Amino acid sequence: MNMMPYKTYLSENELPKAWYNVRADMKMKPAPLLDPTTLKPVSADSLERVFCKELAAQELDDTSAYIAIPGEILDFYKMFRPSPLIRAYFLEKALNTPAEIYYKFEGNNTSGSHKLNSAVAQAYYAKKQGLKGVTTETGAGQWGTALSMASAFFGLDCRVYMVKCSYEQKPHRREVMRTYGANVTPSPSMTTEVGRRINAAHPGATGSLGCAISEAVEDATSREGYRYVLGSVLNQVLLHQSIIGLETKAALEKLGVKPDIIIGCAGGGSNLGGLISPFMGEKLRGENDYRFIAVEPASCPSLTRGRYAYDFCDTGRVCPLMKMYTLGHDYMPSASHAGGLRYHGMSSTLSELLAQGLMEATSVTQTQVFEAARMFARTEGLLPAPESAHAIRVAMDEAVKCRESGEKKRIVFGLTGTGYFDMFAYGKFNDGEMKDYIPSDAELEESFAKLPKVEG
């Protein structure tokens, strides 16, 4: 048991100096973003009205394989990176599996998640452009926390629209953001036009990421010197999150380990996209083969039951259209406890990789997820975020299959964050009151019927 280390840390000098852009190695690129008014591919100019200039350029770049990480961002990363790669010896033992299980832990920073990797990059580019502030949405609160911290660091104002049910369930998360100086508004609110429209159409709405995005975009575009930033889904976010995969690959190479299966939870796809990118690059170039598994909640099953079609990224239809696996921009997911996975769509890059058969997707129910979270907490000593526990669930299931087949597979999963702000959800689980919700086909069809009619 002591032949290999528990934790593998790269040294600071081994921190990757460039992000990796997996789109550069895709022969069939993800479909372009479409302008919501003209339905033509968006230009850099029109994107720059909503997003920071440099980030708009990254969004549209599908040819540069590597993009250098600016020195100030690298310095910031050194506060919490390289993050550890951990061998889950005790979980392996509890499962009595011949499989080796490794996890990359991204919860060791103030946001308690991988979100800070992109927040610092986005705040840096906003500051460099001379902006006054940024607006955003947050679901469970990890992204809002990450952006609040990064904004405070660079001296930017930060305005956060927080999905209402999370705002009410997680008052402590809200206070963390306020401590970093952010202004936090529950969404749908009555302070934006789109918020008022959504409240009128769905009285008592508990909110969704799609709603909060529309509000944040309206806020940014109606304020001088502000831009909107997004914590997931977009290509630029996957690019920044590639730091997770690059570090994982370097650490595994140090150990002489080639993974067989790489697993991540998928909300908008940023941690999964970041974790698998460099490995997927090898698969795309024909250098190596891996199995990639995206895990999503059965209550919000975009990859496993959604349509691959152009759709709006937000409920208010102000953002560009994206071709992705979607449940429909009007879809209101049930109040699942994995707030970070309640998004109707998915990264266009991951969607295209799934459509090409290069990646697999599966869904799991909440109670299955919390059972895995409890076992992981008890064996590995880390209390996982409910989102992360989706990946744990499937990693455990794959390890159990190895027990049955006797195969000694090497399984790597992304442990995206800690669950200390999710104790309400853990409480429901501990009290045996957690319910599973799986939408019916009829419910999904009703939502698909409202997809925009766009070719592609």
Choose which of 83, 271, 349, 368 interacts with ligand PLP (CB under 6 A).
Answer: 271
Q: Does 142 bind ligand PLP (CB under 6 A)?
A: yes
The H or E element spanning position 355 is: helix 348-355
* Angle at which helices 116-128 and 142-154 cross, to 10°: 40
- Candidate segments 96-104, 119-127, 270-278, 374-382, binder of ligand PLP by CB under 6 A: 270-278
- Paired with 432 in beta bridges are none
**Closest approach of Cβ 104 to ligand PLP, in Å?**
12
Nearer to ligand PLP among residue 46 and residue 77 (C-beta): 77
263 or 265, CB closer to ligand PLP? Answer: 265
Distance CA 44, CA 427 (A): 47
> Rounded to whole angstroms, how far apart are CA atoms 7 and 83?
10
Contact 124, 70 (CB under 8 A): yes
Q: Shortest Cβ distance from residue 302 to ligand PLP (Å)?
A: 11
**Of the candidates 412, 343, 338, the residue with the CA atom closest to the CA atom of residue 373:** 338
SS3 label, residue 87:
strand
Nearer to ligand PLP, 169 or 199 (CB): 169
User: Which residue is listed with tokens 């040819």?
Assistant: 63
Of 208-247, binders to ligand PLP (CB under 6 A) are 232
Q: What is the C-alpha separation between 415 and 377, in angstroms, rounded?
A: 12
Q: Measured from the CB atom, is 146 or 434 closer to ligand PLP?
A: 146
Nearer to ligand PLP, 104 or 409 (CB): 104
The residue type at 137: E
The helix/strand count (H/E) of the chain reads as 18, 15
Long-range (24+ apart) CB contacts under 8 A made by 169-174 are 169/424, 170/140, 170/141, 170/421, 170/422, 170/424, 172/421, 173/140, 173/141, 173/144, 173/145, 173/421, 174/141
Q: Which of 120, 263, 266, 389 binds ligand PLP (CB under 6 A)?
A: 266
> Residue 166 interacts with ligand PLP (CB under 6 A)?
no
Per CB under 6 A, the list member of 30, 133, 207, 269 interacting with ligand PLP is 269
If one asks whether residue 265 binds ligand PLP (CB under 6 A), the answer comes out as yes
- Of 64-72, 165-173, 267-275, 285-293, which part binds ligand PLP (CB under 6 A)? 267-275
**Residue 232 beta carbon to ligand PLP: minimum distance, rounded to whole angstroms:** 3
Binding to ligand PLP by residue 115, rule CB under 6 A? yes
Residue among 330 and 387 whose Cβ is closer to ligand PLP: 387
Strands 226-228 and 133-138, by their bridges, are parallel
Closest CB to ligand PLP among 46 and 187?
Answer: 187
Stretch that binds ligand PLP, among 24-32, 193-201, 268-276, 314-322 (CB under 6 A): 268-276
Which residues, numbered 391-430, are part of the site for ligand PLP (CB under 6 A)? 416-417
Q: Which of 19, 196, 34 is CA-nearest to residue 122?
A: 19
The dihedrals phi and psi of 273, each to the nearest 5 degrees, come to -60, -40
Stretch touching ligand PLP by CB under 6 A, among 10-18, 25-33, 212-220, 259-267 = 259-267
Count, residues in the chain: 456
**Joined tokens for residue 309:** 């079609």
At its nearest, how many Å lie between ligand PLP and the CB of residue 376?
Answer: 14
Return d(Cα 326, Cα 310) in angstroms, integer.
8
Stretch that binds ligand PLP, among 4-12, 263-271, 314-322, 445-453 (CB under 6 A): 263-271
Interaction between residue 301 and ligand PLP (CB under 6 A)? no
Identity of the residue, 137 or 218, whose beta carbon is nearer to ligand PLP in the bound complex:
137
Rg of the chain over all Cα atoms, to the nearest angstrom? 20
Q: State which amino acid sits at residue 356.
A: Q
Binding-site size for ligand PLP (CB under 6 A) equals 21
- Asked if residues 393 and 103 have their Cβ atoms less than 8 Å apart, the reply is no
Restricting to residues 328-387, which ones interact with ligand PLP according to CB under 6 A? 340-341, 385, 387
Binding site for ligand PLP (CB under 6 A): 113, 115, 140, 142-143, 232, 265-272, 340-341, 385, 387-388, 416-417
